[in-house]
Amino acid sequence: MVDRTMREMKTHGDRDFPIATYDWYGPDISGMVLECHWHDEWEFFAVYEGCTVFSVNGEKKLMKENSVVFVPGNSLHMAVPYRNSICRYRSIVFSMSFLQGLLDDVVQTKYMEPLCANQMGAGIFLPDRPPGIWQGDRIYPLFEKTYHTLCNPIGPYELLAKSCLYELLAYVVLSTDAIRRPRRGQGAAGAAQSVKKAIIYMNENLSDPITVPQLAATANMSTGYFGKLFRQMTSCSPIEYLVNLRLSEASCQLLHTDKQILRIALDIGFNNIGYFNRCFRKKYGCPPNQYRKCMRAQNECICSGQVI
């Protein structure tokens, strides 16, 4: 689940061990393999069955079985189906603070600090083997070793998991020269921040008339380029995203207030009740009045302990 700025509303691990694993599949009911979102943590994402088109800050690539991508922190990323195929994937999400030591040793100064300071922006789609003569493990088996170590907390698993993550990061450095990332990566990170800024503007001005030129101005971009960039990073147009934001707010108000439907529509920026009803039905499969009735009845059953 994400908030209105697309930030993931989930804690990955805890303060002492800020790392978590996930195993999932898609597409889901929304048609996405992985919804567009971002988080402070960094992530290794691997496909183990099927394939998907994975996007990091607008950079897209087809990922097949046994392929791995490294996602920098604060990056907008998502995955969509490829030719209607099913995709099963695993991910390891972790805070870089878990790998950063307190001492300024050579590992911290030469690798970790440049990695964290760079905020590379673009995703790093890792080859199965790094270039050159380095004889490390193959990348996907190493990912699986790390994943299963974390899923089976036996013995000093924290120590082993940490060593595996360091080895995975060595692949990142070897495969892409990530600590000397070219300007294009920084541009991608800046573009992602511009899209986030436009999304925040939408949320703060939800009830007001909002146009694409206004959003482009908040991102300091031309209207045409902004529209193209927004779709590239989120898989929808700015107006489609705005409408979905407004509909989500409408669903909350229908459930938690007794306001008239017309009042709700006007308060969230719809000036045409017919258009609001059509959009709401398309997203939720029923008109607003029926949605309110059904959702309240469902909540009452849950609160009373009845089985729905």
pLDDT at 187: 58
Domain count, the chain: 2
**269 shares its domain with 177:** no
| Residue 223 maps to a domain | no
pLDDT at 87: 95
Give the mean pLDDT of the chain: 85
| Residue 246 maps to a domain | yes
* Mean per-residue pLDDT, 148-171: 93
pLDDT > 70: what percent of the chain?
Answer: 86
**147 shares its domain with 41:** yes
**167 shares its domain with 301:** no
**171 shares its domain with 23:** yes
Where residue 129 falls among pLDDT bands split at 50, 70, 90?
low
Range of the domain at 284: 241-308
| Residue 14 maps to a domain | no
Where residue 126 falls among pLDDT bands split at 50, 70, 90?
confident
The interaxial angle of helices 238-256 and 183-204, nearest 10 deg, is: 40
pLDDT at 138: 82
Q: pLDDT tens digits for 259-269?
A: 999 999 999 99
Residue 185 has pLDDT above 50, yes or no: no
**28 shares its domain with 174:** yes
Output 188 or 163, whichever has higher pLDDT: 163
Residue 122 has pLDDT above 90, yes or no: no
Domain boundary, last residue among 181, 202, 217? 181
pLDDT at 183: 43
DSSP 1-50: -B-TTSBB----S-SSS-EEEEEEEE--TTS-SEEEEB-SSEEEEEEEEE
Q: What pTM did the predictor assign?
A: 0.76
| Residue 140 maps to a domain | yes
| Residue 100 maps to a domain | yes
* Mean per-residue pLDDT, 207-233: 91
| Residue 213 maps to a domain | no
Residue 236 has pLDDT above 90, yes or no: no
| Residue 9 maps to a domain | no
pLDDT at 116: 74
